[in-house]
Amino acid sequence: MNNFTFSPIARNHVPLLLEMMQDFYKIDGYPFHYSLTEQNFTEFLTREHLGRGWLILQQETVIGYLLLCFGFSFEFGGRNAFLDELFIREDFRGLGAGSAALDFVSSEAPKHGVRALHLEVELTNRKAFDLYREKGFKEHKRRLMTIRF
């Protein structure tokens, strides 16, 4: 059995997080803006009302990260959150880290007043989709739409 632990993200973790995030974004060809993301981490880590983040570790090795970003929704009963990022390094996928991360964030989110937890999954990522359904996430009869500024 693989033991995974979760350590709160601190400022000194930002260079490592940027490296992992860049790898994550390459998977689906998303643009990655290093300096903007670095600025966003500074804001995220200094304003607790924005959310929380954790490194995912196996023994002492950092194998990924997760970011929980807070919002508010009348429909969902108040504070809600997006599991905005969940990344496991390629060499550590398939070992149960994703499942452990979902269990962790599902138990941690209510401690921060979260009443509903949302996530997105790429249509092509069937393994993640199946895991999320197994963990109790449901599809909506809606499409997430976005405009960028």
From 59, 69, 55, select the one nearest 21 (Cα to Cα): 55
Cβ-contact 68, 53 below 8 angstroms: yes
Domains and CATH numbers, the chain: 4-134 (3.40.630.30)
Question: What percentage of the chain reaches a pLDDT higher than 70?
Answer: 98
Indicate the pTM of the whole model.
0.91
d(CA 92, CA 97): 8
Q: What b/e readout covers 61-84, taking b as 16+ CB neighbours within 10 angstroms?
A: ebbbbbbbbbeeeeeeeebbbbbb
Q: Return the pLDDT at 39.
A: 97
d(CA 55, CA 17): 9
**What's the pLDDT band for 134 if we cut at 50, 70, 90?**
very high
